[in-house]
Amino acid sequence: MNWKKNRILVVDDDANILRVFKNILEKEGYTVEITDTGKEALKKIKKAKFSAYIVDVKLPDMDGTELLLKIPKDPKAIKIIVTGFSTDEAGKKAADYGADDFLVKPVKAEELIATIRERLGTIQHER
């Protein structure tokens, strides 16, 4: 399928989550890059285009929602916020800052895959 050629950037300060998300998504055929800070994410974003961004709210150097604002506008890219602290305020802020979806940790593999497939499929059908 077309969506399997998509590149995904995962940004989270938890090394275990980075490893697990990378393994899950690569098994599905995606190309995955990982980083643990917002600054490193911005460097990667300047060097390559991504189809999806999975960003943790709590990063050591910035708020993940702030990082969403720094990602170049691209109607073909999806942005997903991940957090361990689900509140209505956090969900609203993520949406206001451009998140296409909001996942609460712990994120199950099936939920992650389904969200990525659904969101990328929707975007690709709109092209």
Q: What is the pLDDT of residues 79-98, one digit of tens each?
A: 999 988 777 787 888 889 89
DSSP track, 30-44: -EEEEESSHHHHHHH
Q: What is the pTM of this model?
A: 0.91
Is the Cβ–Cβ distance between 103 and 82 less than 8 Å? yes
Is the Cβ–Cβ distance between 44 and 71 less than 8 Å? no
HSE toward the beta carbon, residue 41, CA cutoff 13 A: 32
Q: Which of 22, 30, 85, 28 is nearest to 56 (CA)?
A: 85
The superfamily (CATH) of domain 2-126 is Response regulator (3.40.50.2300)
- The structural domains of the chain, with segments of one domain joined by +, span 2-126
Is the Cβ–Cβ distance between 21 and 65 less than 8 Å? no
CA dist 7 and 84 (Å) reads: 24
Looking at the DSSP bridge assignments, the partners of residue 10 are 34, 54
DSSP track, 53-83: EEEESB-SSSBHHHHHHHSPP-TT-EEEEEE
Q: What is the pLDDT of residues 38-94, one digit of tens each?
A: 999 999 999 999 999 999 999 999 999 999 999 998 989 999 999 887 777 878 888
